[in-house]
Amino acid sequence: MAIKVMAAPGPVCFPIIAARDEEFEIVFSKEGKADIVIDSSVSLIKRGLPIDMILLKGLSMVYPDFGKKLILWRKGSANDYVARAIIGKENLGTEIIYTENQQDIMAFLKEGKADSAILPVTAPMKGITLEERAAKSGIYVPGSCSAHLDMKYADQFKDAYMKGIESFRKDPEKTAEYVLSRLPNKFSVDFIYESIQKMVPVMKEPEDYSILKEEILNAKQ
């Protein structure tokens, strides 16, 4: 019987799709039960699922730092929860502007409607990763993407996940095209392979993330 992986349809699932390992049955859902659940670290915390393994870090960055007006994609996103935790911890008073369109972020920065932003690591500017910025506030963030899993599958899953990452390194475009063909929602081929190339695989248990957990669970929706 295949090992069931319940996956969020974003960067967290790209490597396990790329592995093309028939031992794993990938289901795109956030409801039901599975042997392995992979999602953003923040989403796992919100869902009440312990993080057993950090998969990837560095998906998002703060540019240039928190200013007076920060724009980010979607209220209630993982970036939103971490940003609000940092702002609250440091009493920054930063106003958050939300958008449903990623293109708005660059436009707002260019037009001066926002002086800072949280952007994907694939963006053409240099910032500090959200995990690194949170650490400066004393908040440990266990990576961008993580897994809750039955530990008897940990080594097998880790090997397959790293095989998928290696596929991206060897043939990024063809691997990204294959991943795109398996996804229920659409990304650009460039984003798929660039995000995996720029993120850092971690593949280990997290440290104590209780401060972040408290911030997320107590945050206003």
CA-to-CA distance for 49 and 148, rounded, in angstroms? 6
Average pLDDT over every residue of 213-218:
96
Cβ 172 vs Cβ 131: under 8 Å: no
Identify whether 206 is preceded by a cis peptide bond (ω within 30 of 0): no
User: Can you tell me the mean pLDDT for 178-205?
Assistant: 96
Q: Tell the CATH topology of 3-58+144-206.
A: D-Maltodextrin-Binding Protein; domain 2 (3.40.190)
Alpha carbon distance 8, 29 (integer Å): 6
Reply yes or no on whether the pLDDT at 220 is more than 90: no
Per-residue model confidence (pLDDT) at position 1 = 87
d(C-alpha 113, C-alpha 96), whole Å: 11
Query: Helix (H) and strand (E) counts for the chain?
Result: 9, 11
List 57's β-bridge partners, or say none: 200
221 pLDDT more than 90: no
Give me the residue spans of the domains in the chain: 3-58+144-206, 60-136
Contact of 71 with 104, CB cutoff 8 Å: yes
By residue count, the chain amounts to 221
Asked if 61 contacts 118 with a C-beta cutoff of 8 angstroms, the reply is yes
Average pLDDT over residues 41-68: 98
pLDDT band, very low/low/confident/very high, at 165 (cuts 50, 70, 90)? very high
Distances (CA, A) of 33 to 6, 27, 190: 8, 10, 32
User: Does CATH number 3.40.50.300 belong to domain 60-136?
Assistant: no
Summarize the confidence of residues 2-8 as an average pLDDT: 98
